[in-house]
Structure 1
Amino acid sequence: MTTTTKRRRVGIAGALVGAASAGVAAAALAKRYAVGRIRLRPDTEASEPFGELRGREHTLITSDGKALHVEIDGPERKHPAEDEDPPLTVVFCHGYCLSMESWHYQRKDLRESHRLVLWDQRSHGRSQRASAEECTIDRLGDDLAEVIAAFVPGPCVLVGHSMGGMTIMALADRHPHLFGDKIRAVALLATSAGKLAELTLGLPAVLSKVVHKVAPATVSMLGKRGSLIDRTRNAGSDIAFLITRYVGFGDSKNVSPTVVDFAESMIRATPTQVVADFYPALMNHDKLSALHVLDAVPTAILVGDRDWLTPPDHSKAIAAALPKAQLTEVPDTSHLIQLERPGIVNDALRDLLKRVEL
């Protein structure tokens, strides 16, 4: 190889590296510019006390030995009369990679008028980590049954978002006798009765198939390197902010940057290993045959029309199995509906509670 040829190749390599570096720098600059523009918008929620609402804290040790963090909020009668009926309780079940804090707006709206029970699902929030084998939707249903037995003295209404809705479906499958007398109504937000492995995630069909094909192995690999990955996740980043905004809130231009940061902080607090442990359970979830149990009680179903994680078709399938249910498809709304459209969700919950309290 001549000296001239070597110099030419070195020059080409240098140009390629330079171009690649310029591309990375340009992408980073574009990312910072995008995040900067978003954060410069008026933020009506900047002073909202996210994560600061607290109730009476309890720990429930489940039948398989896991410690669940539970909080009871709202008015509590100190010395109820012997002939006084127990109050109606609203039980909130949060979604995948979130915590009880995701119900901030609903808790804030209802805590003055209703007794509330909020809990962190196993391996989430302040509840104890469980092994991969113990991270199943059926086990979550059993956990919910034990929460109800321990902290709900009278009738209750169940509210579930995403995986929390699946938890309620698992409860219906495994403990159907609770629905009707104990459980008086159900609200299902942005959830699915099954076939999550068929989601397009807003991607073209061909690309979606590729993503689903490689996702299980990729998630498993990430789980095995969870502690290393978590060290980088804990710092937070502009990329995490943009991903949370896009996946959790769609392309809404009205969502508060503070709300996005709040949601991202919950997701970031969920260990990578936990994300990997629950992933197979979510993909294999199938409770369509158990939905008929919910038909015994008033059921409200809410979904955003731009939800890519649990699309409207999944809520419509639930509604088709529950002829008496009320389905609300919220325009210009994505997956984190209780944070993106709290007013609509709160109104729907109050309407549901009125139906029970009549």
Structure 2
Amino acid sequence: MTVKWFSARLLKGALLGAVGMYGTAAAVRQADHRRSAGQTRPPALPDGEPRAGIRSADGTPIYADACGEGPTVFLVHGLACNHTIWRYQRAFLRDRYRVVSLDLRGHGKSGTPASRDQSTERLAEDLEAVVEAFDPPSFVICGHSMGGFTTLKWHERFAERYRGRLKGLVLVDSSGVDVVEGIVLGGLVKRLYPVPLSTLLDLMAVDLPVAQRGWELYGRTAPAYLFARYTAFGKRPPADEVEFQRELIFSTPLPDFVRAMKACLDYHVDPESLSRIEVPVLVLVGSVDRLTARRSSERTSAMIPGARLKVYEERGHDTMLECPEEVNRDLGAFLEECFR
């Protein structure tokens, strides 16, 4: 009787907790949409002209497109996103620059590698394949979150090939230090990773149709909205941008999402390589970024000679969606200096 009674109480408590969480998430979602009603956003830009035939070093097909004319700006997205997350920046920059946006392996229109290797080493090779394909006489690379990790890893491995042609780097809500040093609950993650968390992630990365279907169904719910809101935005985000980020996250196949998450946890750049960066660097971060915290950006900018840091108050991890006008202004001014 005692065991059955406790089991029933536990089940009842779990059900009530789930219902309460769903109700809270739905209420937050509705409040965001009411508050955001009528807000004007800058114009977005659809896909540019695709460049066919790009393959990474291991043969993985990589999607990239371009729009505009002028010096080249490469835009590199983050975890569980794709090239469309730069929609406001593409629209803003295309009148003065050739804007190249790519999808990293396992994301968007790019392929999943046969090896299932989505480490930042391979992501840097994806970026290098796109740089080679467009072969610009001068260029700047701008990376968001995992795209910033990719950018710094690319610089560590390939930048010497482009001495005189590479004009600058931009890190948006990203970091040059290990992810666990800046993520929310990073201390706990550090104690659990690699053991036992790595094993759990490996199990989640197995291709299972049932798990994928559950991932997609969950992605339509109010709790999924709350997940996107908490991880990527500040206190009063535009509801449409949270919905957009939610769609990006849950349209990424679950195994690719998990492998990319593991790549971020394994990410490491030699601090000496940061001190050797010779081009101008701009570091942009939201003050309440929960994934690559402000303190990580401050440390990163301090490690890179002459790097500039801009903090957007009360903004989160997706500053280019949350405050696009401010990001566009700062990015535009920086690019003018780089290509002067």
Counterpart of 2:64?
Answer: 70
SS of the residue aligned with 2:310? Answer: strand
How far does residue 223 in structure 1 lie from its aligned partner after superposition?
Answer: 1.4
Correspondence 1:238 to 2:222: yes
Identify the match of residue 334 of structure 1 among 302, 316, 321.
316
Identify the match of residue 56 of structure 1 among 49, 53, 57.
49
Correspondence 1:281 to 2:263: yes
Specify the code of the residue in structure 1 equivalent to 2:100.
V
In structure 2, list runs of 5 or more residues that go unmatched: none
Matches within 5 A, 1:1-358: 21-44=15-38, 53-59=46-52, 60-75=54-69, 87-131=70-114, 133-201=116-184, 203=185, 212=193, 214-224=196-206, 226-235=208-217, 236-250=220-234, 252-253=235-236, 255-287=237-269, 288-294=271-277, 296-358=278-340
Q: Check whether the contact 1:44–1:256 (CA below 8 A) recurs between aligned residues.
A: no
Specify the code of the residue in structure 2 equivalent to 1:259.
E
Greater displacement, 222-231 / 144-153: 222-231
SS of the residue aligned with 2:205? Answer: helix
Q: Check whether the contact 2:43–2:91 (CA below 8 A) recurs between aligned residues.
A: no
Work out the number of aligned pairs and report it.
335
Specify the code of the residue in structure 1 equivalent to 2:311.
E
Counterparts of 1:11 and 1:282 in 2: how far apart (Å)? 44
SS of the residue aligned with 1:65? Answer: coil
How far does residue 327 in structure 1 lie from its aligned partner after superposition?
Answer: 0.8
Greater displacement, 109-118 / 28-37: 28-37
Q: Check whether the contact 1:93–1:160 (CA below 8 A) recurs between aligned residues.
A: yes
Specify the code of the residue in structure 1 equivalent to 2:57.
S
Q: Check whether the contact 1:94–1:163 (CA below 8 A) recurs between aligned residues.
A: yes
Cα deviation 1:202-247 (Å, max 9, x = unaligned): x495x55566565323322221265322212223211110010011
Larger Rg belongs to: 1
Counterparts of 1:321 and 1:15 in 2: how far apart (Å)? 54
Greater displacement, 239-248 / 226-235: 226-235
How far does residue 151 in structure 1 lie from its aligned partner after superposition?
Answer: 0.8
RMSD: 2.6
How far does residue 69 in structure 1 lie from its aligned partner after superposition?
Answer: 0.7
Counterparts of 1:280 and 1:69 in 2: how far apart (Å)? 22
For normalisation by structure 2, the TM-score amounts to: 0.88
Q: Check whether the contact 2:232–2:318 (CA below 8 A) recurs between aligned residues.
A: yes
- How has the CA–CA distance of structure 1 residues 142 and 239 changed in structure 2, closer, same or farther, with 3 Å as cutoff? same
In structure 1, list runs of 5 or more residues that go unmatched: 1-5, 76-86
Q: Check whether the contact 2:183–2:293 (CA below 8 A) recurs between aligned residues.
A: no
